[in-house]
Structure 1
C-alpha cells in the first residue's frame, strides 16, 4: 500500500514497516535529517512524480510503500482496555463510508483515549491510504476491527456490562448530563442517514450534542470527537 503524508509515514517508519521513502525535492532539510536518522533508504524525486503516484497533491512531500494495514479484532480492543486497567471505551461505526470521516474518527478516538474502533464489514470505507493519512498515524496505535454484524456485536457487548450509547441529533438526553464512568460503546451513524433502525433500537440510550446555531447537525467525525471528549471529561 502506498502511504503518504508526514505523520503517517513517520509512524510507519517507527513501526519498521517501510524500506524506502520517496521524498520530493525541495522539502526542508530538518525533515530530511529526521528521515536519515531512521536509517531508511531515501529516494529523491520531482514533486510531480509524487503527485502522480499518490493521486493527490496532499502528500506533504513524502511517499512510502508499506505493508497493508491489518484489521485488528474486537478481542484486541478488549485486551487493550484490560491492559490499561480502564473501563472499556469503544467506538462503533454504522455506515461511515467516507474515508476522511473514517480516518478523522480514528484519530479522535486515539487522541481521546478510546480503546478501539469497530466497523461492519459491508458498510464501511476500507483501511486505505486516505484513511491512514487523515488518521495522522493513529492507525499505528489504535486497534481498528471489523465485525460481520454490528447489532449482534452490540448484544454481545451489553452482555459484558457495556452500556451502548447512540449519537442522535434529535435525542432529548444531553451528553453533558450522562454518567460515563462504566464500560461504554459509542455508536456513530452515517452522514445524513444516521444509524440504521435496528442499530438504533439496540442502543441503551441516545445522546445529543446541544447546538446553538441555525444548522442543527454536525459532520460525523466532528460529532464523534465532541462526544468522545465529553465521555473522557466525565470520567476524569
Structure 2
C-alpha cells in the first residue's frame, strides 16, 4: 500500500496532455459507504483509495482495505487536512475518498472538437439544478434514454456527491457528462459550433414531441424554482413546451428530463 501523501503517484505514462485527459475523467467519491459500494462493483474502474491516517482500524475501514486489496486498487494514506483537499468535503468524507475512472466524462472543448465526426447529438444542459435528488434522476434518465451528452457547469449546479450517486442508482459513473465552468459561455460556444439551443417554456409555441431539430440540439433544463436564467435564455434559439392538462403549470425538472430523453421514441422515432 502506498503511504505517501501524493495522490498522483500512479499517474498513467505519457505526455502531460495524456495525464490531464486521464484525470479529467476521474470522479472522486467520498464517504465510507459510497466508497465501499463502488469498490464492490467490479464493473467500475476504481483508480485509488484514499484514507485518513487518523481512521480507526476495523469495521468498514477493514472492509474497504480488504476489498481494495482483492481488486488490486492502490491505497494512499494522508493527513486529515490532505484527505479533505482530495475529497473537497472534509466535513462529510468520514476520512475516505475513492478515485473512479469514468470513461464517458469529457471536457466541453474536447466534445466540441469531436462534434464534426459525431451523428446528430441530443444534449441536456443543466442551468442551476440545485437538488441532488433531481440531478441524480436526470442523469439516470439521460443514461437510459436517447441523450448523447449532459452539459454540467461547475457553477450553480449540485455537486456530484453521494446524494447524486444514490439518486442516479449508480449511473452517474456511466453518464455522458460534459464539463464546463460557466453555462452561458458554454452555450455560446455550442451555438458557434452549430448546435441549436432550446429551452423548455410553458408559453412556447412549439411542442416538444413534434419538434425535430435539423442538427445537433441542446435542451436546457432550468432551476427547480426560477427556471432558466436570463443569461442562458439569451442564448436560446427557440423554446419548446410540454402539453399540460387540468391546469397543471409545470412538471418536476427530473420528469421533464425523462420526457426529453424519450421524446423522439414516443413520437414514433426519427
User: What TM-score, normalized by structure 1, do the two folds share?
Assistant: 0.70
Supply the distance in 2 between the matched residues of 1:170 and 1:161 (Cα, whole angstroms): 25
CA distance in 1, matches of 2:182, 2:38: 33
What does residue 107 of structure 2 align with?
73
Q: Is the alpha carbon distance of 1:82 and 1:139 closer, same or farther for their aligned partners in structure 2, counting shifts above 3 Å?
A: farther
User: 2:139 aligns to what?
Assistant: 106
CA distance in 1, matches of 2:123, 2:228: 16
How far the C-alpha of 1:126 sits from its partner, in A, is 0.6
1:141 to 169, 174, 186: 174
Pairwise CA distance, 1:170 = 2.4
The 5 A counterparts of 1:6-85 are: 9=38, 12-17=41-46, 66-67=98-99, 72-78=106-112, 85=118
Superposed displacement of residue 228, structure 1? 2.2
Give distance in 2, aligned partners of 1:212 and 1:67.
46
RCO greater where, 1 or 2, for CA within 8 Å and sep 6 or more? 1
| Superposition RMSD in Å | 3.5
From the two aligned structures, give the one with the greater helix fraction: 1
State whether residues 119 and 145 of structure 1, in contact with CA within 8 Å, keep that contact through their aligned partners in structure 2.
yes
1:126 to 159, 184, 190: 159
Deviation of 1:115 (Å): 2.0
Equivalenced residues, count: 201
Q: Distance in 2 between matches of 1:11 and 1:192?
A: 37
Q: Deviations over 1:121-180 (max 9, x none)?
A: 220111101111111222222232332221221121112211111011222211122113
What corresponds to 2:31 in structure 1? 2
TM-score (normalizing by structure 2):
0.62
Query: Which one has the largest radius of gyration?
Result: 2
Give distance in 2, aligned partners of 1:117 and 1:137: 16
* 1:2 Cα deviation from its structure 2 partner: 2.9
State how far apart, in whole Å, the 2-side matches of 1:220 and 1:96 are.
8
- In the TM superposition, what is the alpha-carbon distance from 1:109 to its structure 2 partner? 0.9
Q: Is the CA contact 2:130–2:156 (under 8 Å) kept in the aligned structure 1? A: yes
Report the secondary structure of 2:199's partner residue.
Answer: strand
Unaligned runs of 5+ in 1: 23-35, 42-54, 56-63
Instruction: Report if aligned partners of 1:18, 1:65 keep a CA contact under 8 Å in 2.
Output: no
Per-residue deviation, residues 27-52 of structure 1 (Å, max 9, x unmatched): xxxxxxxxx9xx659xxxxxxxxxxx
What is the CA–CA distance in structure 2 between the aligned matches of 1:11 and 1:164, rounded to whole Å? 40
Match of 2:120 in 1: 87
